Amino acid sequence: MTYRVELARQAEKALDRLDRVTEKRLRDRLKELSLNPYDPRLSNDVIMEEGKRYSKVGDWRIIFRIEAADMVIFVTAIQHRSKAYRK
């Protein structure tokens, strides 16, 4: 079973601002996550925020939460690593 991926408006805007190569890499990772978002090779827990996970793609981070009952991955942010872990 695959999870449905939903992007927050902020995450969609971040993707639109990126160059095509980086955008493709991030979208490919989202497809991989839709197959198994708990795979430790693809994502880890965000220690500072319970219930959120992150996935590293080069210098970029995909920050998301999983709604297992609805089979949804909700991407809250896509940020450069220099900004991803700041509150």
75 by DSSP, 3-state: which?
A: strand
CATH number for 79 = 3.30.2310.20
Structural domain including 18 reads 4-84
pTM across the whole model? 0.90
Residue 41 DSSP SS3: coil
In eight-state DSSP terms, residue 18 is: S
- Each of the 87 residues of the chain gets a pLDDT tens digit; together they read 899 999 999 999 999 999 999 999 999 999 999 999 999 999 998 877 788 999 999 999 999 999 999 999 999 999 999 888 666
| Rounded Cα distance, 61 and 53, in Å | 10
